[in-house]
Copies of this chain bind each other. A is one copy, B any other.
């Protein structure tokens, strides 16, 4: 069952259980694209879970430290846009008009990173890629 596996996830990550942590984790699991804190807060309110905003921040910090989520990328005036860490990480095409996020099936960076590590004396541990433009729906409105 759902709640049980969130408990397990917390345990595996070395975090203690709490109603609030479980609830946030459950919500994060349902998302197909990254989500802002504001959206997260809205969802908890809709679900009448009532989790204090500072608690949300604190829990997400804990999730970050324990590698359960990652900051997907940054949006102006909001530094938290997060998603559960997926086994294979993803990148998104982001529509400048409707803000829709379309995942790219396959991360194109591996070869590039191999090459960089060879050429430059630098050890790559992560990367962030965003591609901005206009989705098929929004191209029409121009």
Q: Is the interface of A mostly helix, strand, loop or mixed?
A: strand
A113 at the interface (CB under 8 A from B): yes
Count of A interface residues, CB-CB < 8 Å: 34
A102 and B130 contact, CB distance less than 8 A: no
Q: A52 to chain B: closest CB distance in Å?
A: 21
Our pick among B112, B115, B120 for the contact of A102 (Cβ within 8 Å) is B120
Contacts of A124 in B (CB 8 A): 93, 131-133
Contacts of A93 in B (CB 8 A): 116, 120, 122, 124
Question: Which positions in A face B, CB cutoff 8 Å?
Answer: 71, 73-74, 76-77, 79, 93, 95-96, 102, 104, 108, 112-113, 115-116, 120-136, 139
